[in-house]
Structure 1
Amino acid sequence: MNQMYNTPSSFQESTAESENMTAADATVSSLITNGIDTVYALPGLHNDPFFDSCYRAKNLRVIHPRHEQACGYMALGAALSTGRAQVSAVVPGPGLLNTSAAILTAEGMCAPVLTIAGQIPQADIDRKHGHLHEIRDQMGLASHIAKYTQRIKAPHEAPQVIDQAISAMFSDRPGPAVVECAMDVWARRGAVRPMPANSGVTPPAVDEDAVRLAAEVLSSASNPMIIVGGGALEASQEILALAELTGAPVLSYRRGRGVIPSDHPLAINLPIGYRLWPKVDVAVAVGTRFFVQEKQWGIDKDLKVIRIDADPEAAERLQQPAVSLVGDAAAYTGALVKRLEQSKANKSQKQDLEPHRQWFADRLTPLQPQADYLTAIRSALPRDGIFVDEVTQVGFASRLAFPVYSPRTFLSPGYQDNLGWGYGTALGAQAANPNKAVVAIAGDGGFLYQIGELATAALHSLPVVAVVFDNGMFGNVMRIQKERFGGRYIGAQLKSPDFMKVAEGFGVNGLRANSPKELEKKLGYALALREPALIHVPCGEMPSVWDMILAPRIRG
């Protein structure tokens, strides 16, 4: 971690002329200099000067939702769908706590989200006077869910703090940052020396000796497999070249989906990967925690692992790999391809994956209606459209069965798997990608977490289409209580509103689909409107997909 909390000010110098400006103006100017064009935020007393600076700034828009959780989720959706730094702003105390689940999710998903939080008067911080929104050790709290935390204590510090936050968000394993500023400091004036745009983090040089060793290991493989995660999203071409050179199937699950298109002959999903796992002799793990393979499927002495990861600590967390390549995924994968092409020593053969694809298709047949609903959505959604997964039965199935054709078009909440994250995340993805179609699925339970954000979609003309599968229950909870606790149901049944009337009340297009065929038709219509829409899909209890996700240990 590159965390900086309560560290002394030791800021780099700039040759720019100093200007007399407020801390708020210096902060906003620094954001714009670094390419930030949108702030997802809710105003409040502690941040009034900051918002006034946003108002006066050119080329900066503020999108305000109805709840602080959506500030964080919108920034997260924008970051996940673009790979660029995004910013949210909230008041201190309850405001930061309301958005903390989104920050935690950003930490788990390695997303560069900067949260700007207000504070009580600087002299009173942590004095327990009882100020509005006062909270003890706000930055200490944030340090548990963010890579970088810092306070702007004077106007001249603002450019350097923003610069350090951006550097931290992209260094090693990317992640979120939290910056706070006291309410009386925002309007304080001083001499500020602006800084140029952050030049980015220079990845470590490629270790050619390590690449040579990795190439030797991979060249000896008869049945290699490539496993990709979120850290491989910018290395699509290199990974595809490596796969085609070695004949290795490429396994992606959730964050890594789309690194190579689902319709590529070498693309495989989690169940097929599990089926192949016993015979894999070399696994190349690119930008992935590799948790499923190491902790669930198992590894034995006959399986060698090559890890490519920006995080220098990644290789030490589980079993020691045969080779660890620390740095940029595209650079290392490209170097590995080059080395293999030069050596021409690779002995692996392209595997025939069609029998496995047919096996999975047969497994999907009883997984209804999820499979047909996913087919309907994929048929209506353009190839480059963005699909936002949710913690719902259709969402779980989508992680295995929804075709994805390019990086950053399948957004899934990572290991936090937090219910209700989806709609706000989709709104942020739409705001950052105005020319793309965005579809967010949800269950009737999860959608009510952010149902008020239908107002945000209507106000800001964000044409996300929300597909709400309504079965009157928390499906996972109900299933577990049925199977493991003798049907002693508690906290599982739901009473939802009339979603059509809710949509109408918010000024959003409301549609209903009673079958997969109707869903495909209604979704195509809604996407063509380019207006916010909600499609209500009444449904019953759905079969579990978890036996294909939480498969038992098979090696080691």
Structure 2
Amino acid sequence: MHNCGTLLPRLLAKYGVEIVFGIPGVHSVELYRGLEQSGLRHVTPRHEQGAGFMADGYARATGKPGVCFIITGPGMTNIVTAMGQALQDSIPMLVISAVNRRADLAMGEGRLHELPNQGALVSGVCRFSHTLMDVRNLPKVLARAFAVFTSQRPGPVHIEIPLDVMVQDASGIDDSAWPLPSPPAAASRDIEQAAKLLGEARRPLLVLGGGAIGAAKPLTALAEKLGMPVINTNNAKGVVPGSHPLAVGGSPSLKHLRQELEQQADVVLAVGTEFGETDYDFFFLGDVDIRGKLIRIDIDAAQLCRNVKADIPLLGDAGETCVALEQQVTAADVEQQRAGRQRAAELRQQEEALRHEGYQAFFATIGEVVPEAIIVGDSTQPAYFAQVHHNCELPRRYFHSATGFGTLGYAFPAAVGAKLGCPELPVICLTGDGGGQFTLNELSSAAEVGEQVIFLVWNNQGHGEIRRFMDERDIAQIGVNLHTPDYAALAEACGMKGYRASDPAEFERCLRAAVAHSGPSLIDVSEAGLASGYPW
């Protein structure tokens, strides 16, 4: 039988999809009809939110869209949070779900898993939602989805397939992939204006967001050509290597970097960044107010009209636009290039002076024992430290959910997705004992997958960051001091190695043991023994 369920995985494979994250249900089993023959791997999380977070971690680590198969109704309501995180951080994700038969849609007759309008439910957390009304349209709709991923600002796309469309005859339908458009570059006249302004600058500054993640080479060349210090947001860590003499490190939320951005730089080039609150105002200093000239590069026209007004907006892909800009711009003289490196060194020294010794030692141990690791963080104290102080030599080696949408429970499943996408690299999961309880069930998924992911649970017996907020506002600590399960024992029960670390030396020993183990491991790390106080 050749129907929609056999056509779909064949089409996905043509677009380079390798893994599908999903939980089969009675309404979605037809999606699985052709999966075995397609060569696609299926990974089963324990909750649809976990499926979304796995797809998100896979996409961030690889740059390729993560794909989910989801049932009707509760499957969609469960995955919405993960789609929201992916939308906020512009992560490519394809969510394919079932929906009731076409004749039953919006009838309100109490069908299994029925919602009045699934598309409306997810409309606020995706780039578009489409109801497939005829199997013959599937190739065109998938092409639209992958065009979003490759040539526009990416984010989740939702395609729902009615139960009767799933079983439609798909014989004779062309299953070849559609040629996809290349991402656009900014208009040449705008490039010329920006190049002229940068060429005349005496204190230029480069600021990078997640939209710059694929433009490391041209951005590094441009920074070197002009002697521009480089500030990166969390999602742009490693785009310019942290060890580069022009890399400032830190976070644009730091007071001294905000001052450089707002008052000292005469021309700011901002690439693929929305100037969002969680990147630029994490310490509540107020809205960004840039006194110098601002050039913004973004693939999304609407984004160029949000938060901070640009003197020269450049609409286009970061890589394509920066290549054109680097070719046009006049190189700074040797003295100005030297002055740029000196500015970067001074800014970096100020950031280094702010580092918390305990948290710094924690990350130094990870770097020594597990070099080249991808670190996947949740909303937890070490991740807040890392957002400001952890540097990377390559992009896609650190990401977390603490910025943007700010979900809890992200890291357990996202780390599994990252490892599946990059099996050759070590993967470290970094979560808190409170946030980890949102998706504890995905430890079972990790054991089933069997890949070597090292889960670090930062244990402070509850929601430590919210405790701090309550204390600062003289509010009683209600709902934040949690019963914490024995994570190491839970790990063993799920079929992986479990360890406990109560001081730095013990943490290093446990980490080395986890590295030596071929499968997944979990280390319950006592905050009290490794870092006193908050990360800043």
Match of 1:184 among 147, 164, 178: 164
Give per-residue Cα distances to partners, 1:177-225, cap 9 Å, x unaligned: 0011122321221444224324333223442211111011112212111
The one-letter code matched in structure 2 to 1:311 is D
Equivalences for residues 410-449 of structure 1 within 5 A: 410-413=398-401, 414-449=403-438
Match of 1:290 among 253, 275, 278: 275
1:274 matched to which residue of 2?
258
Q: Helix, strand or coil: the match of 1:369?
A: helix
Q: Helix, strand or coil: the match of 2:243?
A: coil
* CA distance 1:314–1:346, change in 2 (3 Å): farther
CA contact under 8 A between 1:166 and 1:198: conserved in structure 2? no
Equivalences for residues 164-313 of structure 1 within 5 A: 164-268=144-248, 269-270=250-251, 271=254, 273-277=257-261, 278-292=263-277, 296=286, 298-300=288-290, 302-313=291-302
2:518 matched to which residue of 1?
530
1:552 matched to which residue of 2?
none
TM-score normalized by structure 2? 0.93
The one-letter code matched in structure 1 to 2:451 is L
2:312 matched to which residue of 1?
323
Q: Give the C-alpha shift of residue 21 in structure 1.
A: 2.8
Residue identity (%): 29
Q: Give the C-alpha shift of residue 545 in structure 1.
A: 4.3
Q: Helix, strand or coil: the match of 1:144?
A: helix
132-141 vs 199-208, greater mean Cα deviation: 199-208
CA contact under 8 A between 1:39 and 1:87: conserved in structure 2? yes
Q: Helix, strand or coil: the match of 2:340?
A: coil
Q: Helix, strand or coil: the match of 1:436?
A: coil
Report the aligned-residue RMSD: 2.1
Q: Give the C-alpha shift of residue 351 in structure 1.
A: 3.7
Distance across 1 between alignment mates of 2:190 and 2:207 = 19
Matched, 1:355 2:343: no
Structure 1 residue runs of 4+, over 6 Å off? 342-346
1:551 matched to which residue of 2?
none
Distance across 1 between alignment mates of 2:322 and 2:235 = 18
Equivalences for residues 405-484 of structure 1 within 5 A: 405-413=393-401, 414-484=403-473
* CA distance 1:192–1:303, change in 2 (3 Å): farther
1:497 matched to which residue of 2?
485
Match of 1:389 among 377, 386, 403: 377
1:59 matched to which residue of 2?
39
1:76 matched to which residue of 2?
56
Q: Give the C-alpha shift of residue 54 in structure 1.
A: 1.3
CA contact under 8 A between 1:23 and 1:154: conserved in structure 2? no
* CA distance 1:129–1:332, change in 2 (3 Å): same
* CA distance 1:34–1:100, change in 2 (3 Å): same
1:110 matched to which residue of 2?
90
CA contact under 8 A between 2:185 and 2:321: conserved in structure 1? no
* CA distance 1:298–1:156, change in 2 (3 Å): closer
Distance across 1 between alignment mates of 2:385 and 2:219 = 25
2:30 matched to which residue of 1?
49
Unaligned stretches of 5+ residues in structure 1: 1-19, 547-556
Q: Helix, strand or coil: the match of 1:21?
A: coil
Q: Helix, strand or coil: the match of 1:40?
A: strand
Distance across 1 between alignment mates of 2:532 and 2:158 = 40
TM-score normalized by structure 1? 0.89
Q: Helix, strand or coil: the match of 2:484?
A: coil
The one-letter code matched in structure 2 to 1:356 is L
150-159 vs 421-430, greater mean Cα deviation: 150-159
Match of 1:158 among 138, 141, 151: 138
Equivalences for residues 331-370 of structure 1 within 5 A: 331-341=320-330, 349-352=339-342, 353-364=344-355, 367-370=356-359
Q: Helix, strand or coil: the match of 1:217?
A: helix
Q: Give the C-alpha shift of residue 122 in structure 1.
A: 2.2
CA contact under 8 A between 1:310 and 1:328: conserved in structure 2? yes
Distance across 2 between alignment mates of 1:228 and 1:192 = 47
The one-letter code matched in structure 1 to 2:260 is L
1:30 matched to which residue of 2?
11
The one-letter code matched in structure 2 to 1:462 is E
Matched, 1:379 2:360: no
Distance across 2 between alignment mates of 1:343 and 1:282 = 14
Distance across 1 between alignment mates of 2:52 and 2:350 = 40
Distance across 2 between alignment mates of 1:199 and 1:380 = 44
CA contact under 8 A between 2:229 and 2:247: conserved in structure 1? yes
CA contact under 8 A between 1:430 and 1:436: conserved in structure 2? yes
Give per-residue Cα distances to partners, 1:405-463, cap 9 Å, x unaligned: 11111112231011111111111011111111000111100111111111111111121
Unaligned stretches of 5+ residues in structure 2: none
Give per-residue Cα distances to partners, 1:219-267, cap 9 Å, x unaligned: 2212111111111111101111111111111111210111011111111
Q: Give the C-alpha shift of residue 529 in structure 1.
A: 2.1
Q: Give the C-alpha shift of residue 342 in structure 1.
A: 7.2
Q: Helix, strand or coil: the match of 2:159?
A: strand
Q: Give the C-alpha shift of residue 311 in structure 1.
A: 0.7
CA contact under 8 A between 1:91 and 1:117: conserved in structure 2? yes
Q: Give the C-alpha shift of residue 526 in structure 1.
A: 1.2
2:390 matched to which residue of 1?
402
Q: Give the C-alpha shift of residue 507 in structure 1.
A: 0.9
Give per-residue Cα distances to partners, 1:146-169, cap 9 Å, x unaligned: 112112222212222211221133
CA contact under 8 A between 2:462 and 2:481: conserved in structure 1? yes
Match of 2:502 among 503, 514, 517: 514
Distance across 1 between alignment mates of 2:275 and 2:335 = 24
62-71 vs 339-348, greater mean Cα deviation: 339-348
CA contact under 8 A between 2:187 and 2:314: conserved in structure 1? yes
